[in-house]
């Protein structure tokens, strides 16, 4: 009968010897972080009798140990690791020691070279081990989260890649339904500017510019988000996730802060030189569509994007209790809001008809059509407070009055086109006035 004891400390391997290189749950080291210096075995917490096996035997689930919440926990974690681990040379297995504690071990011994310098970055496996993560208490989503970090085994790479993929999948995934809707004439009756449907060429040109911004501007920023987040104390690889009530309060704070920031930054971008050289790109489409949500000058992407990440960074800097999973939920909701606001459609079930202070597409579409008013993103509070929705309110009163008239379909559409044209002409005049200003603030002499 073999007796094994695995506890907190690291199991050190001695180069050139046959000493075991096993690792416990909180003593895990990846092949990149093996200690190469000698260490007396009397100082190790892993004890074995010479001539006995050096690997702790894998044991079946034992309910008497009380380590796992259910018999399926170990199997769930193992299955979660399989699709990730199969693509790597060193596969990571989750098993249990003789006293019932789960631990991670590399199934293949790392190639040791006593003359090779040690790599100093901390791997994901080491982080989970040092943190003493109890895998038995994780739900399915948290288990997949752990599997992702263990598969890449580099927290910076794992966070950066996950952040960028999330952004791309959510953004284009949310844009796709609007592309389909634009191609179906049935939905024209809910389009805010029904005579301006984006062509395939316009959508493709827009997509190319958006992809350029994503890869050349947003990707470097997203890739560096992990070290910046950890600098401010944000949790990234850690599990379990915070309570949903905690995340809901944090996301509500992010929405409010971003909306206020966006309002003032957006108004600043409508100042002459900034508009002419930066923001004018985004106003190319007077009738926006979903893909145009992030169609903007690279400088504008950086400026307005600051409002999206400023909330999490500031909250984390003072509270230091933010998890990046909460940030991912926030980014997802923010992208949904941005794409929907540029969709150009106002359905009876749109959120602004349920939440009166929500901006929505009907609010932001007027900004693109008339150039002025409605500078906020998610909420209507700032525009109402600073009086930057006066023309919008007048326009909506005219539209509502027109709907009460007993007009035929053709008469209604003719009057609607006339009102939209008037708003556009007024917007063009306002745009020309803005572009007529120089950095000195004086009007150019024509």
Question: Which are the contacts of 197, defined by CB distance < 8 A and separation ≥ 6?
Answer: 182, 188, 191
Interval 50-63: pLDDT, tens: 454 444 444 333 33
Q: Is the dihedral of CA 387, 388, 391, 396 positive or negative?
A: negative
DSSP character string of 373-426: S---SSBSHHHHHTTTTHHHHHHHHHHHHHHHS---HHHHHHHHHHHHHHHHHH
The mean pLDDT of 226-231, rounded to a whole number, is 79
Of 16-25, 273-282, 284-293, 367-376, least confident by mean pLDDT is 16-25
Reply yes or no on whether the pLDDT at 37 is more than 70: no
Contact 317, 331 (CB under 8 A): no
What is the Cα 56 distance to its own chain's centre? Answer: 40
Helix (H) or strand (E) holding 170: helix 155-182
Share of the chain above pLDDT 90, in %: 54
User: How far, in Å, CA of 197 to CA of 393, rounded?
Assistant: 25
Question: Which are the contacts of 355, defined by CB distance < 8 A and separation ≥ 6?
Answer: none
pLDDT tier, 359 (very low <50, low <70, confident <90, very high otherwise): very high
In this predicted structure, what is the pLDDT of residue 232?
Answer: 86
Structure tokens at 255: 């929405």
In this predicted structure, what is the pLDDT of residue 444?
Answer: 54
Interval 61-78: pLDDT, tens: 333 333 334 445 556 555
pLDDT tier, 26 (very low <50, low <70, confident <90, very high otherwise): very low
The mean pLDDT of 118-130, rounded to a whole number, is 77
The residues that bridge with 104 in the sheet, in sequence order, are 94
Question: Which are the contacts of 403, defined by CB distance < 8 A and separation ≥ 6?
Answer: 412
pLDDT tier, 116 (very low <50, low <70, confident <90, very high otherwise): very low
The mean pLDDT of 331-354, rounded to a whole number, is 96
Higher pLDDT, 136 or 252: 252
Of 4-8, 74-78, 154-158, 343-347, least confident by mean pLDDT is 4-8
Higher pLDDT, 20 or 355: 355
Interval 168-206: pLDDT, tens: 999 999 999 999 999 999 999 999 999 899 999 999 999
How many angstroms separate the most distant Cα atoms in the chain? 97
In this predicted structure, what is the pLDDT of residue 385?
Answer: 96
User: How far, in Å, CA of 425 to CA of 145, rounded?
Assistant: 52
The residues that bridge with 379 in the sheet, in sequence order, are 358
Reply yes or no on whether the pLDDT at 29 is more than 90: no
Helix (H) or strand (E) holding 299: helix 298-319
Structure tokens at 122: 């901390």
Reply yes or no on whether the pLDDT at 24 is more than 50: no
Higher pLDDT, 438 or 59: 438
The mean pLDDT of 268-275, rounded to a whole number, is 94
pLDDT tier, 441 (very low <50, low <70, confident <90, very high otherwise): low
In this predicted structure, what is the pLDDT of residue 88?
Answer: 44
User: How far, in Å, CA of 420 to CA of 192, rounded?
Assistant: 9
Q: Provide the 10 A C-beta neighbour count for residue 279.
A: 21
pLDDT averaged over every residue in the chain: 78
In this predicted structure, what is the pLDDT of residue 442?
Answer: 57
């Amino acid at each position: 009968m073999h007796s094994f004891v695995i506890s907190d400390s690291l199991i050190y391997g001695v180069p050139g010897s046959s000493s075991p290189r096993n690792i416990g749950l909180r003593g895990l080291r990846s092949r990149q972080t093996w200690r190469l210096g000698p260490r007396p075995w009397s100082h190790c917490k892993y004890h074995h009798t010479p001539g006995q096996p050096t690997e702790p035997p894998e044991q079946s689930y034992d309910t008497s140990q009380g380590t796992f919440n259910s018999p399926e926990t170990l199997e769930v974690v193992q299955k979660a690791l399989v699709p990730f681990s199969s693509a790597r040379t060193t596969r990571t297995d989750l098993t249990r020691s003789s006293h019932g504690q789960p631990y991670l071990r590399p199934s293949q011994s790392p190639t040791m070279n006593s003359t090779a310098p040690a790599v100093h970055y901390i791997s994901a496996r080491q982080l989970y081990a040092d943190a003493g993560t109890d895998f038995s208490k994780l739900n399915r989503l948290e288990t997949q989260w752990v599997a992702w970090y263990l598969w890449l085994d580099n927290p910076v790479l794992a966070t950066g890649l996950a952040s960028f993929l999330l952004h791309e999948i959510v953004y284009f995934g949310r844009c796709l339904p609007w592309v389909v809707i634009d191609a179906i004439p049935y939905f024209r009756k809910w389009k805010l500017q029904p005579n301006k449907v984006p062509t395939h060429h316009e959508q493709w040109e827009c997509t190319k510019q958006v992809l350029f911004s994503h890869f050349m501007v947003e990707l470097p920023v997203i890739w560096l988000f992990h070290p910046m987040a950890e600098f401010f104390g944000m949790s990234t690889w850690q599990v379990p996730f915070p309570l949903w009530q905690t995340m809901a309060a944090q996301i509500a704070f992010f929405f409010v802060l971003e909306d206020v920031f966006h309002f003032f930054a957006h108004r600043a971008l409508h100042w002459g030189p900034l508009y002419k050289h930066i923001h004018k790109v985004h106003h190319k489409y007077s009738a926006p569509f979903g893909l145009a949500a992030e169609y903007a000058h690279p400088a504008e992407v950086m400026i307005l994007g600051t409002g999206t990440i400023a909330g999490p960074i500031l909250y984390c800097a003072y509270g230091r209790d933010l998890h990046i999973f909460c940030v991912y939920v926030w980014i997802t909701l923010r992208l949904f809001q941005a794409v929907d606001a540029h969709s150009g459609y106002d359905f009876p079930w749109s959120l602004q008809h349920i939440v009166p202070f929500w901006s929505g597409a009907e609010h932001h579409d007027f900004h693109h059509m008339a150039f002025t008013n409605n500078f906020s993103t998610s909420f209507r509070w700032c525009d109402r407070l600073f009086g930057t929705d006066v023309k919008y309110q007048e326009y909506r009163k005219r539209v509502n009055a027109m709907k009460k008239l007993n007009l035929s379909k053709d008469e209604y559409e003719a009057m609607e086109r006339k009102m939209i044209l008037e708003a556009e002409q007024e917007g063009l005049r306002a745009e020309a006035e803005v572009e007529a200003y120089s950095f000195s603030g004086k009007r150019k002499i024509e």
